[in-house]
Structure 1
């Protein structure tokens, strides 16, 4: 990563331990890489949901519950906390 910024985050202890175990078992090269990948996954998902919302707004509509359920299923978001679309 050429253009990076150091940030500090707090995680619940159980999550931090899970990440350490994943790194220790070779699931990620280090904690920073794991967190960067997790954040990128969330950003990609949020962007896709935002684009879906924008497409509907351009048509003067709101996505139906069925559309949102489909999008959440495709994007791996299974609850209301998973994305910005309301």
Structure 2
């Protein structure tokens, strides 16, 4: 895998939590944890974009029931606050 160094700033509380996970053996390193988190978000965003494209090709939007289910699964409230936004 090709890697490139990118510097990011995180709130101290988040870094502390990640370091505790590393110390407990639940993550290999801070960098590995962040890389995994970024990949998970990219995968989710790609999936949401594919879903949007499918609905656009069908010519209609998801029903309110579909949106409610997706928000519950993704941990997102009706205002789009949370992990992802529909």
User: Which residue of 1 is the match for residue 11 of structure 2?
Assistant: 12
> Where in structure 2 are there 5+ consecutive unaligned residues?
none
> Matches of residues 3-82 of structure 1 in structure 2 within 5 Å?
3-74=2-73, 76-79=74-77, 80-81=80-81, 82=83
Q: Deviations over 1:37-73 (max 9, x none)?
A: 1111111111111111111000111223322222233
Q: Secondary structure at the match of 2:60?
A: coil
Q: Secondary structure at the match of 2:10?
A: coil
Q: Normalising by structure 2, report the TM-score.
A: 0.83
Q: Within 2, Cα distance between the matches of 1:43 and 1:7?
A: 16
Task: Report the Cα offset of residue 84 of structure 1.
Answer: 4.4
Q: Normalising by structure 1, report the TM-score.
A: 0.83
CA RMSD in angstroms comes to 1.5
Task: Report the Cα offset of residue 77 of structure 1.
Answer: 3.2
Would you say how many aligned residue pairs link Structure 1 and Structure 2? 83
